Structure 1
Amino acid sequence: MSSTRAEFHRQHLPQASAEARRLFERKAELRGAWLNWVAAQLYALGPAEYVSMVRRELQQLQAQDAR
């Protein structure tokens, strides 16, 4: 990871984690519509590096939820 990429990650991880938690918290409410809703929410975010971070955080939340 380059220093600029590492710095971006360090600066934005708390926000990406909070965004992922916000999205994940709507899962029970939206049920079957959740995946499409999350996709639309992610599409509206940027830049791509940040969206990837949010996606990874969401995957971790889903893995924890599955246990």
Structure 2
Amino acid sequence: MDNAHNAPTPPSRAEFHQANQARAQVDAQRLLAAKAELGGRWLSWVAAELYTLKPAAYVQMVRRELERLSR
């Protein structure tokens, strides 16, 4: 029997976004909150933190939230 046909379909991009938006906002706020404390080390620290997040689509969501919150 072919298991490929039984595998669940991955969520659509919109479903993924909706399911993870609140968590991405929390992560972005957490990262931004450390900016004052870390000063000049903040950017490299954020890069390292983002590197630990998965999947790539989620990392992009957090980056967009960071950008939005930084305006």
* Residue number in structure 2 paired with 1:33: 41
Give 1:30 deviation, angstroms. 0.2
Cα distance in 1 between the residues matched to 2:39 and 2:68: 19
* Residue number in structure 1 paired with 2:6: none
Letter in 1 for 2:35: K
User: Percentage identity across aligned positions?
Assistant: 56
Large movers: runs of 4+ above 3 Å? none
The match for 1:21 among 29, 35, 40 is: 29
Structure 2: tracts of 5 or more residues without a match: 1-10
Cα distance in 1 between the residues matched to 2:68 and 2:41: 20
Which is higher, the Rg of structure 1 or of structure 2?
2
Give 1:58 deviation, angstroms. 0.2
Tell me if 1:8 matches 2:27: no
Query: What's the Cα RMSD here?
Result: 0.9
Scaled by the length of structure 2, the TM-score of the pair is: 0.84
Instruction: Give the total of aligned pairs.
Output: 61
* Residue number in structure 1 paired with 2:63: 55
Letter in 1 for 2:36: A
Structure 1: tracts of 5 or more residues without a match: none
